[in-house]
């Protein structure tokens, strides 16, 4: 195959995707920011800072010049959400409307509440936009563990192009036209992963984590209803699939941050020690803003916002969540009155 594909972003997920695509026979132009990282990938075919000793395909050609990616017909954006707009704006100077841009970044921009594909459309001339999302841990992809993902777009041409460059015997790509649902689920599950990490750090087990994941999915569904998301999207790889892996794996950066919070570390110390971005921190702010706009209770999102941005301690957060009024599982408005608990009479003989 001679058709080049560009991947923008040299973190763990960007390099893993570049490796998958390159292993399928496509020459990959991989944009990274640091010259020393480009040199390592070029000469040693590794990215030890993010992917340990896993070897990268020799079909990957690193560059520190964004313009080198411009001639590629298909481009995959894998930069942190906080840098996504700026990088898209810079890319926009070189791109044409008929090129295909796929976002593999999971986030919602604070303030604007835009998904990453929306940012692409604002900052570039590209019309053929899509998203890649699913239960995809980079190290397991590099290890060759069977993995599946979703390529979503309103355009069949974009879905087909994404599936063709990604699909292999160990990496299965499925298509979807519900790009809103796929991106929304991919972003919001990181908030739930922070919460799952916290309850694990406290010392709670599988019962509590299952409780959290189930109620977290309920919040994803309610948020999705405001965007007319297809419920099947949230029950599939981009929703339940990604939620399960991110809320259970030590490889999940968001889970790790939450776990360390639950063990008593401060957020500033945790973030200062990390080499990669935990997208759930930024997304928590966006999700909270959306929850306020919709004027509907999203208890986990609200509590996570208070923990991260308002300094609520973990014990107070736990009491707040478990002390909420009793109600029907899928009908929060159907509240059951709490019966007044009278003190027990003294035991006989006392």
Report, as residue numbers or ranges, the catalytic residues: 189
Burial 304-315 (b: 16+ CB within 10 A, else e): bbbbbeeeeebe
Direct distance between the N- and C-terminal alpha carbons of the chain, in angstroms, rounded to an integer = 88
What CA–CA distance (Å, rounded) separates 131 from 152? Answer: 5
Of 201, 228, 199, residue with least CA distance to 215:
199
Sequence-distant (6+) residues with CB within 8 A of 55 are 45, 46
Q: Biggest alpha carbon distance in the chain?
A: 91
In the numeric block, which tokens belong to residue 67? 């313009």
Q: How far is CA 213 from the centre of its chain?
A: 15
């Amino acid at each position: 195959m001679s058709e080049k594909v560009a991947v923008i972003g040299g973190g763990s997920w960007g390099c893993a995707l570049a490796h998958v695509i390159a292993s399928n026979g496509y020459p990959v132009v991989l944009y990274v920011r640091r010259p020393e990282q480009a040199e390592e990938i070029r000469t040693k075919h590794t990215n030890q800072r993010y992917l340990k000793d896993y070897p990268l395909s020799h079909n990957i050609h690193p560059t520190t010049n964004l313009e080198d990616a411009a001639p590629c017909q298909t481009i995959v954006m894998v930069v942190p959400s906080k840098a996504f707009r700026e990088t898209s704006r810079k890319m926009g100077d070189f791109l044409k409307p008929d090129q295909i841009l796929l976002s593999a970044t999971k986030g919602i921009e604070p303030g604007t509440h835009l998904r990453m594909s929306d940012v692409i459309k604002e900052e570039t001339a590209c019309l053929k936009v899509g998203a890649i999302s699913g239960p995809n841990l980079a190290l397991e992809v590099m290890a060759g563990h069977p993995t599946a993902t979703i390529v979503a777009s309103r355009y069949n041409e974009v879905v087909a192009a994404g599936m063709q460059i990604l699909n292999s015997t160990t990496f299965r790509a499925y298509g979807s036209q519900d790009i809103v649902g796929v991106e929304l689920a991919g972003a919001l599950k990181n908030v739930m992963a922070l919460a799952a990490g916290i309850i694990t750090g406290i010392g709670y087990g599988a019962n509590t984590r299952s409780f959290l994941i189930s109620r977290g999915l309920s919040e994803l569904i309610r948020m999705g209803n405001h965007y007319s998301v297809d419920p099947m999207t949230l029950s599939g790889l981009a929703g339940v699939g990604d939620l399960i892996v991110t809320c259970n794996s030590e490889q999940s950066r968001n889970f790790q941050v939450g776990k360390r919070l639950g063990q008593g570390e401060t957020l500033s110390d945790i973030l200062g020690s990390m080499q990669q971005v935990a997208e759930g921190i930024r997304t928590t702010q966006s999700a909270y803003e959306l929850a306020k706009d919709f004027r509907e209770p999203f208890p986990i999102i609200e509590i996570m916002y208070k923990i991260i941005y308002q300094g609520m301690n973990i014990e107070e957060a736990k009491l707040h969540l478990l002390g909420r009024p009793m109600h029907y599982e899928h009908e929060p408005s159907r509240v059951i009155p709490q019966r007044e608990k009278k003190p027990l009479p003294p035991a006989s003989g006392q």
